[in-house]
Amino acid sequence: MSGLMSYSPVRSESRSTAAFSSSISGKAYAIAKSPRGLVYPVISHKDKEGWKRLNSTAPFFIPFMGTEGADLSKDKPAESSTYPYPILMTYAAQKTDLVYNMTKAMIDTFDMYKASAPGNSGWAADRQNFAWAIPFHDGAIKYWKEAGLWKPEHQAHNDMLIKRQKVLAAAWAGMNRDSGVDDKVFELAWMKVRADALKKAGMDPVLTSW
């Protein structure tokens, strides 16, 4: 599964480090063949409180059993996390018919390309997450409605995400950047403005500082 969180402990003197990577990346395969090998830490799907803490900072992660990639298989899965992948992204201004037809084509021809590359299984209709961290385009929604998979709760979530984007856009438009202001100072100021705007709108800011 591309997108799986993979870590490879590397020891240098008394220090230990870890890396975030796609499990199907070339680096992951290379490290798996190294003397120390590749280690996937368990992110327990039963740890509900742990998942609350993780999603409070990174709401795009979801529980997943990794079976594709370095040292992984259906018989040797990794209990970990991932995020929807692959993803087709476009601007809201893109034509509805174009997005609708692109979405339809990806699903209708799935059986033709699903075995062509690791991670292609993510295009399957039954693998879609309709209440994720990024809003769906109206063209995609049109297709999923026709497919009978788009529910009222998905629309409500999507409307919330679009409202969130508008809140952030308005907050950003209100920021006055003085050319003499240090980048870090401006960054911290924006994070406060951003958080305040989202809280005022009744939304979780997720990130309040770096």
In a domain, 14, yes or no: yes
Give the domain range for residue 14: 1-83
DSSP for residue 116: S
* Confidence bin at 114 (pLDDT 50/70/90): very high
Q: For strand 78-82 and strand 62-66, is the pairing parallel, antiparallel, or unpaired?
A: antiparallel
Return the pLDDT at 138: 97
Q: Model confidence over 123-158: pLDDT tens digits?
A: 999 989 999 999 999 999 999 999 999 999 999 999
Residue 31 confidence (pLDDT) above 60: yes
Q: How far apart (Å, rounded) are the C-alpha atoms in residues 205 and 185?
A: 19
In a domain, 141, yes or no: no
Q: How far apart (Å, rounded) are the C-alpha atoms in residues 25 and 48?
A: 29
* Confidence bin at 22 (pLDDT 50/70/90): confident
In a domain, 8, yes or no: yes
In a domain, 69, yes or no: yes
* Confidence bin at 179 (pLDDT 50/70/90): low
Q: Sort 72 into a burial class: Cβ within 10 Å, 0-12 / 13-18 / 19+.
A: buried
In a domain, 126, yes or no: no
Q: Model confidence over 42-66: pLDDT tens digits?
A: 999 999 999 999 988 888 899 999 9
* Confidence bin at 13 (pLDDT 50/70/90): very low
* Confidence bin at 15 (pLDDT 50/70/90): low
Residue 11 confidence (pLDDT) above 50: no
In a domain, 36, yes or no: yes
Question: Which H or E run contains 189?
Answer: helix 183-200
- Residue in the structure block whose two tokens are 């870890």: 18
Cα Rg of the chain, angstroms: 20
Task: Identify which of 68, 70, 66, 69 has the alpha carbon closest to the alpha carbon of residue 79.
Answer: 66
Return the pLDDT at 24: 87
Number of domains the chain is built from: 1
In a domain, 155, yes or no: no
End-to-end CA distance of the chain: 28
DSSP assignments along 30-65, one per residue: HHHTSSS--B-----TT-HHHHHHHHHH-TT-EEEE
Share of the chain above pLDDT 90, in %: 60
Share of the chain above pLDDT 70, in %: 90
In a domain, 182, yes or no: no
Task: Identify which of 81, 84, 85, 3 has the alpha carbon closest to the alpha carbon of residue 42.
Answer: 81
What pTM was estimated for this model as a whole? 0.78
